[in-house]
Every structure is written in C-alpha cells, then in structure tokens.
C-alpha cells in the first residue's frame, strides 16, 4: 500500500511539473499553480488514507427481491439481489460515548438499499449501486465514502457462478462534480 502511494505521489508531482510549463505559457504563475496542485494532491492523499486506514460501517449479505435488469423477464418476474456496503466515517466518538447519536445507524443505510432495490426498476446494476451510494452520501454528511457491491445470484449464464454484479466506490468529493 505504501509503495502504491509513493508511486502515485511521484506520478502526481511529475504530472504537475509538465502542467506547470503549460500553465505558465497560459499566463498563470508557476507558484500559484504549484500551490493549487499541492493542495489538491494533499486533499486526495488524506481522502485516500482515510479510506485505507479509516473506520467504517459494514453491512454484508443484504438480500432483496427486485425487478432490475435490461431483459423483459427480469422486469416481469424479478429476482434476488445481494448487497454489501461499506461506509467510511470517523467512529471514534461513538466508540468513546457508546451513543447511537455519534454514529450512523446501520438500519438507516439498510433502509436506503431496501428502498432502492425494492423500488423503481433500473436497467443496470451500475445505476442501482450509484443510487445507493449517492443517496447514502447525501443523507449522511458524516460519511466520507461508500463502497457498494450489488450482485445477481440467479443469472442465466452457461456455467456455475456464485453471483454476477458490480462494485463501485464513491467519495463525498464525487458529489460536487
């Protein structure tokens, strides 16, 4: 992990030096541009560190019946979906106080997944996972990032599978874009 961060840091700084030359020719001072790049790099690194080493809520094996899919039979008959969610946030206060008000209740995140999986059909699992992630981040400002995995255990393929699905990561910073 440390080696990956070091390589990322070197690549980011190398990329910044190439951008400086381009920005200076566009009239931006190299010091202002470098300051901006450094701030962005540090913000991204802190967010990355929080995800790698930070606390998280963990929801595993959530199971729902929904009508998502691009095929007509999926929309008509429905099928089982399995969901795993990780929600990164600081859990230190809750660990010290033992008060639910110092964390986000698992049931609040479960309810988001349930409403989306059992609600309006989507063609793609990517869209289902995205909606769960964005709704979780929007409704719970304390959460820095989420990982959502949505799988179909009973999918028509030629061969044995546990499930097929998608896994996405969304950060709070993704909401502004």
**Residue pair 146/84 in contact by the 8 Å Cβ criterion:** no
Comparing CA positions, the residue from 9, 24, 4, 161 lying closest to residue 82 is: 161
Residues contacting 5, CB < 8 A, separation 6+: 45, 48
Structural tokens at position 86: 């990780």
Query: What three-state secondary structure class fits 169?
Result: strand
Strands of 47-124 (E only): list them. 56-66, 79-88
Question: Which residues are identified as catalytic?
Answer: 152
**Residue pair 148/168 in contact by the 8 Å Cβ criterion:** yes
Structural tokens at position 53: 């080493």
């Amino acid at each position: 992990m440390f080696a990956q961060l070091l390589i990322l840091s070197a690549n980011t700084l190398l990329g910044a030096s190439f951008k400086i030359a381009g920005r200076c020719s566009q009239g931006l001072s190299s010091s202002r541009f470098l300051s901006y790049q450094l701030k962005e790099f540090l913000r991204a690194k802190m967010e990355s560190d929080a995800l790698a080493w930070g606390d998280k809520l963990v929801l595993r094996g959530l199971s729902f019946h929904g009508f998502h899919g691009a095929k007509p039979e999926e929309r008509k008959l429905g099928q089982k979906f399995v969901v795993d969610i990780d929600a990164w946030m600081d859990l230190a206060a809750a660990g010290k106080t033992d008060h639910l008000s110092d964390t986000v209740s698992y049931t609040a995140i479960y309810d988001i997944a349930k409403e989306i999986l059992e609600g309006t059909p989507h063609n793609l699992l990517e869209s289902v996972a995205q909606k769960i992630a964005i709704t979780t981040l929007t409704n719970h400002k304390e959460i820095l990032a989420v990982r959502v995995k949505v799988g179909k255990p009973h999918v028509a393929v030629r061969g044995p599978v546990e499930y097929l699905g998608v896994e996405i990561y969304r950060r709070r910073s993704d909401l502004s874009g």
